Chains A and B, each alone.
Chain A
């Protein structure tokens, strides 16, 4: 596709369950970002992949959060043992490089009951 694709668009889960969120970036974009957007908190940086470099995981809020990027393309954000405070919209973005314009996906809205 032409843009960043995220799935699922909506996910409702029970507290304690694991969830996986997928991001398919724009083809050829070397940089991939995950952010979390919740009311009043803006965009909270989670993790950043740039080419073959080690990812910047400094934004992950706890060890329940992890992400991987396979083959420099698709990325999966995994949240283990979900908590209610994990409820938010998870946004993925990609760019051509470290200083390029970020193109955002529509986001995955996670609701933890």
Chain B
């Protein structure tokens, strides 16, 4: 069965600094990988997804993630943090057409200070 590990439940950065949120996955087949974001008092929304095309995936709000099979990782990055990026971020994995559910990590809360 697939699983996701998000390293670091809380990450704090200064405005303008690099954002790096770590995600490692386990899957028995080529995975589909996702990052979702939940802003305070809002529902979850899709940030970006990897579905076996380009290994570097660009998402909304300047975020991107790189699929590294050798490291079983799908880390989320943004070159320059903005105050509005403060939110909870969830990495998720699916085995796609294998028909299995989308499994989420425990989430990483990103705080951005001025």
Contact = CB atoms under 8 A, between A and B. Distances in A.
Interface of A: 33, 35, 40-43, 45, 48, 50, 53, 56, 58-59, 91, 93, 98-99, 101-102, 104-107
Contact of B107 (A42, A48, A93): A42
Contacts of B1: 58
Contact of A45 (B96, B99, B103): B103
User: Interface range on chain B: under 10, 10 to 19, 20 to 34, or 35 or more?
Assistant: 20 to 34
Interface string B63-104: 000000000000000000000000000101010111111111
Nearest to B52: A99
Contacts of A56: 99-101
Contacts of B45: 104
B43 interface: yes
A106 B38 CA distance: 11
